[in-house]
């Protein structure tokens, strides 16, 4: 009998230890909220002969510079990225053309006439001559975007690499060779979302900001809806803060635009202004990195027209 009593006590003790002292009934436990969604990560798409010349390259200046480092076009990644931001023509495609046509600037034509894309004209030998390689990239990318890649263009036949190659070159394998060279750049090693802001000027009730996309994602195609600006006016121990929501600029990597922030110092005197930017879409907000921060010092006197930019930090990296 004593053995049975001891066994019952031990069993009860084990049961007490097995149940949490403050456990709530299962039907009273609320579902944990899902973690906040991050921004969409665009998928890298290798170019092929049937690819559109207007799909985003998803590259940054640094990515193109790495590829061009051993060529005469080293350091010109910004020109190709800016060309895409301006024209919509894939920067990898543009680089691929220069590789196939003129060995990325190493050919005699490129060296003597800065003609990187082999456009004919009224220069020596029947080829166009440019003032610089940068000029060749700018003019040629504009022409390709307008006349080859888009409906209404003089040489538009569908806008794919193959369609462009059909009228651009005699080599039937031109599009495949250009795509192979373009894909040698590979997926971006940089961030999808990054940016820079620089304060361009300040008037009585507004601040003009230059905004640059420094990531590889195209903001509009990635679903960005808003540019969130957080600002702070400070002087000594006094400060005031505010926020503004603007439509997200439709920028590809390297693209730059100006936006206006409506704000003014709280009162007369010398004030410091700091502005930070974020990007937001449906259900997500993301930082644009350390370069998305700018500041200035403003002297706000009786004559508001005397306001001026007296200092600026963290300008655009480009």
pLDDT in tens, the chain (318 residues): 444 444 434 444 434 344 444 444 555 445 555 555 689 999 999 999 999 999 999 999 999 999 999 999 999 999 999 999 999 999 999 999 999 999 999 999 999 999 999 999 999 999 999 999 999 999 999 999 999 999 999 999 999 999 999 999 999 999 999 999 999 999 999 999 999 999 998 887 899 999 999 999 999 999 999 999 999 999 999 999 999 999 999 999 999 999 999 998 888 889 999 999 999 999 999 999 999 999 988 887 655 434 444 333 333 333
Residues 141 and 246 in one domain: no
Residues 66 and 162 in one domain: yes
21 in a structural domain: no
Q: In the numeric block, which tokens belong to residue 141?
A: 């990318």
d(Cα 218, Cα 254) in Å, to the nearest integer?
A: 10
**Domain edge (last residue) among 183, 213, 247:** 183
d(Cα 129, Cα 136) in Å, to the nearest integer?
A: 8
Q: Considering the entire predicted model, what is its pTM? A: 0.81
Residues 140 and 252 in one domain: no
**Domain edge (last residue) among 159, 183, 207:** 183
d(Cα 119, Cα 87) in Å, to the nearest integer?
A: 18
* Cβ contacts of 192 within 8 Å, gap of 6 or more: 39, 41, 42, 215, 216, 217, 222
317 in a structural domain: no
Query: Within 10 A of 144 (CB to CB), how many other CB atoms are there?
Result: 24
Supply the range of the domain harboring residue 78: 61-183
**Domain edge (last residue) among 139, 159, 183:** 183
Q: How many domains does the chain have?
A: 2
Residues 209 and 158 in one domain: no
Residue 293 and residue 274 in contact, taking contact as beta carbons nearer than 8 Å:
yes
Residues 273 and 229 in one domain: yes
Element (H, E) at 293: strand 293-300
Residues 175 and 238 in one domain: no
Beta bridge partners of 230: 243, 276
């Amino acid at each position: 009998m004593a053995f049975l009593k001891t066994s019952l006590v031990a069993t009860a003790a084990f049961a007490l230890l097995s149940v949490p002292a403050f456990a709530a009934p299962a039907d009273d436990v609320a579902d944990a909220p899902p973690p906040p969604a991050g921004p969409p990560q665009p998928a890298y798409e290798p170019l092929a002969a049937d690819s559109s010349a207007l799909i985003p390259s998803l590259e940054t200046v640094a990515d193109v510079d790495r590829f061009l480092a051993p060529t005469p076009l080293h350091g010109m990644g910004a020109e190709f990225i800016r060309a895409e931001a301006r024209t919509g023509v894939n920067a990898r495609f543009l680089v691929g053309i220069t590789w196939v046509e003129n060995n990325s600037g190493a050919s005699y034509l490129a060296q003597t006439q800065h003609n990187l894309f082999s456009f004919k004209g009224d220069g020596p030998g029947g080829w166009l001559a440019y003032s610089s390689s940068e000029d060749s990239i700018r003019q040629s990318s504009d022409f390709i975007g307008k006349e080859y890649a888009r409906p209404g263009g003089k040489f538009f036949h569908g806008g794919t690499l193959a369609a462009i190659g059909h009228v651009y070159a005699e080599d039937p394998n031109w599009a495949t060779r250009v795509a192979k060279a373009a894909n040698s750049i590979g997926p971006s090693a940089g961030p999808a979302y990054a940016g820079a802001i620089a304060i361009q000027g300040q008037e009585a009730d507004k601040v003009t900001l230059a905004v640059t996309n420094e990531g590889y994602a195209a903001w509009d195609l990635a679903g960005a809806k808003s540019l969130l600006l957080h600002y702070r006016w400070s002087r000594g121990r006094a400060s005031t803060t505010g926020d503004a929501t603007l439509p997200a600029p439709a920028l590809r990597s390297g693209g730059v635009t100006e936006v206006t922030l409506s704000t003014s110092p709280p009162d007369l005197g010398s004030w410091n202004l700091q502005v930070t930017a974020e990007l937001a879409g449906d259900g997500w907000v993301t930082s644009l990195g350390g370069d998305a921060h700018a500041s200035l010092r403003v002297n706000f006197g009786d004559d508001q027209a005397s306001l001026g930019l007296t200092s600026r930090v963290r300008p655009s990296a480009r």
